Amino acid sequence: MASETGEHGRRRPISVNPLLGEADPVSGVKTVLPRHTLPDAPTTPSTASRLIRDELMLDVNPRLNLATFVTTWMEPEARALIGDAADRNLIDRDEYPATADMEQRCIAMLGRLWNVPGQEHPVGTSTVGSSEACMLGGIALKRRWTHRNAVRHAAGARPNLVMGANAQVCWKKFCNYWDVDARVVPMEGDRFHLGAEQAAEACDENTIGVVAILGSTMDGSYEPVADICLALDALQERTGWHVPVHVDAASGGMIAPFLEPQLEWDFRQARVASINTSGHKYGLVYPGIGWVIWRDGDALPEDLVERVNYLGGDVPTFTLNFSRPGAPVIAQYYNFLRLGHQGYRAVQGALREVAMYLAEQVEALGCFRLLTRGDQLPVFAFATTDDVTRFSVFDVSRRLREFGWLMPAYTFPANRQDLGVLRVVCRNGFSLDLADRLVEDLRSLLPWLRRQPAPFHGPADATSFHH
Ligand SMILES: *Cc1c(COP(=O)(O)O)cnc(C)c1O
């Protein structure tokens, strides 16, 4: 979370510590730097980098950050590769053909991992993250609908996209930016994600697709992709409407293939048109890499693909950006080579073990009710039991900060806004030992929380959870 600086602090210039050797009153070297205006004169590299490093120290210790899904540690060899490749522009395929080739190899590996039918070279691209990947998936769905419904489209029909209320904010952005109605299926009772029947019921002749999420950012659960596809098959039989599915596998795309190879959530489902994942989540790469793959050329209309020739070569592209760092692609390729199938299975298996263990321990504390158990994504959400009246999940989140833990608390969306939850995301580096520490810290808080006359913090104090 961003550290809060008061109104005064934000207006004050940045003061340079005299120890840095630059702030010498005798020589007249400056002791302050402007905060919001470009400085007039240069500063030495050592001072500039020290100032920035000092400020970055205020960020949360990533090991204790249970909120984010995004990778915070890579091996020194990967870091070195990333540093050495910092100058590579991915779009410049003529200058950096080896980087471009690694991107294609990653796409081929992912395609195979997700059982893309009979293709050595699947249709796909790397992106900045899942948000861009989802945008591209959504655009392809919309364009396909437009092609199939040219007359209705010309008559002003508005396309819609069906998703659960747990959908990540990028889908709301997609609908907003690309003028598509978001058909958001609310949660109901103990159903905290999209159900198959509800998905089919929400569709009509203007539905460009259904988004199925593997798994939900809100509680780590997998949406029932196979059942959703079945329900849409039945819908098509009844009505003739063909509704494709995009699987948002931002997290699960790099979990399920290793831990549940038999789960048919991917291109084995004929209705699945496209799949995205975040390389920087369980792909174990630093921020800046996502992937999207289409079933075949039909799923990605040719009129969306631009060809550019002014960098040399005739290069098809379907991305939102032009220039983009090549290093994240290289880092992903490094992980693929380095870990292989068995390596990923071992890493993800260990994470799931920690998540399930921790969930059990939390449940055993006696005042929390698990909504999920960490047995799908290595993520689980829990609420307080009904007899807890003196403290809220928001109090728990606040008090854990005293120990350095960042554990987000938030309320669920419609129709379960009444439900406040805490969520734990287990990432590589979160060990069983750390899990024990967390449970001990949580246990030590309970007597204090139980002595409160009433909850101190409410939903207005919710911490960010959206990754
Ligand atoms: C994280 C996430 C996103 C957004 O991914 P970024 O890589 O952060 O852009 C989209 N959908 C789901 C389900 C996610 O978990």
Residues 136 and 277 in one domain: yes
**End position of a domain, from candidates 335, 361, 391:** 335
Q: What is the CATH number of the domain that holds 414?
A: 3.90.1150.160
Query: Would residue 57 count as lying in a domain?
Result: no
Token code pair at residue 284: 């174990």
Nearest alpha-carbon partner for 142 in 350, 303, 380, 1: 303
When computed from its CA atoms, the radius of gyration of the chain, rounded to whole angstroms, is: 24
**End position of a domain, from candidates 273, 306, 335:** 335
Residues 314 and 379 in one domain: no
Model-level pTM greater than 0.85?
A: yes
Ligand 1 centroid, distance to 254 Cα (angstroms): 13
Domain span holding position 364? 350-461
Kindly list the protein residues whose Cβ atom lies closer than 6 A to any atom of ligand 1: 69, 129-131, 134, 168, 170, 213, 217, 248, 250-251, 278, 290, 467
d(CA 18, CA 5): 22
Specify the ligand 1 atom closest to the Cα of 167: 13
Residues 88 and 175 in one domain: yes
pLDDT at 22: 61
Using DSSP's 3-state secondary structure scheme, residue 32 falls into strand
- Residue type at position 297: G
- Residue 58 · residue 65 · CB < 8 Å: no
Nearest alpha-carbon partner for 407 in 395, 419, 417: 395
Q: Domains in the chain: how many in total?
A: 2
| β-sheet bridge partners, residue 212 | 247
Token code pair at residue 15: 């003061």
d(CA 386, CA 392): 11
Residues 185 and 270 in one domain: yes
Q: What is the DSSP string of 361-387?
A: HHHHTSSEEES--SSSSSEEEEEE-TT
pLDDT per residue rounded down to tens, the chain (467 residues): 344 456 666 778 888 777 676 655 555 556 778 888 898 888 888 888 888 888 888 777 888 899 999 999 999 999 999 999 999 999 888 888 899 999 999 999 999 999 999 867 899 999 999 999 999 999 999 999 999 998 988 899 999 999 999 999 999 999 999 999 999 999 999 999 999 999 999 999 999 999 999 999 999 999 999 999 999 999 999 999 999 999 999 999 999 999 999 999 999 999 999 999 999 999 999 999 999 999 999 999 999 998 876 666 667 889 999 999 999 999 999 999 999 999 999 999 999 999 999 999 999 999 999 999 999 999 999 999 999 999 999 999 999 999 999 999 999 999 999 999 999 999 998 999 999 999 999 999 999 999 999 998 888 777 655 44
Nearest alpha-carbon partner for 171 in 209, 127, 123: 209
Pocket test for ligand 1, best of 217, 321, 466 (most atoms within 8 A of CB): 217
Q: What's 6's DSSP letter?
A: -
Residues 89 and 203 in one domain: yes
Give Cβ neighbours of residue 147 (< 8 Å, ≥ 6 apart).
Answer: 301
Residue nearest to atom 1 of ligand 1 (CA): 467
Query: Would residue 11 count as lying in a domain?
Result: no
Residues 302 and 370 in one domain: no
Specify the ligand 1 atom closest to the Cα of 70: 8
pLDDT at 14: 82
Residues 116 and 169 in one domain: yes
Ligand 1 centroid, distance to 465 Cα (angstroms): 11
pLDDT at 3: 45
pLDDT at 23: 55
Q: What is the CATH number of the domain that holds 183?
A: 3.40.640.10
- Other CB atoms within 10 Å distance of the CB of residue 187: 22
**End position of a domain, from candidates 270, 305, 335:** 335
Query: Would residue 68 count as lying in a domain?
Result: no
Query: Would residue 59 count as lying in a domain?
Result: no
Ligand 1 centroid, distance to 168 Cα (angstroms): 6
- Residue 199 · residue 247 · CB < 8 Å: no
d(CA 216, CA 4): 30
Give Cβ neighbours of residue 40 (< 8 Å, ≥ 6 apart).
Answer: none
Query: Would residue 398 count as lying in a domain?
Result: yes
Residues 83 and 168 in one domain: yes
Query: Would residue 63 count as lying in a domain?
Result: no
Residues 320 and 362 in one domain: no
- Residue 274 · residue 127 · CB < 8 Å: no
Query: Would residue 4 count as lying in a domain?
Result: no
Residues 421 and 296 in one domain: no
Residues 359 and 310 in one domain: no
Tallying the residues shown for the chain, one arrives at 467
Residues 302 and 412 in one domain: no
Pocket test for ligand 1, best of 131, 194, 280 (most atoms within 8 A of CB): 131
d(CA 7, CA 71): 32
- Residue 357 · residue 378 · CB < 8 Å: no
Nearest alpha-carbon partner for 277 in 133, 138, 161: 133
Query: Would residue 62 count as lying in a domain?
Result: no
Pocket test for ligand 1, best of 69, 128, 168 (most atoms within 8 A of CB): 168
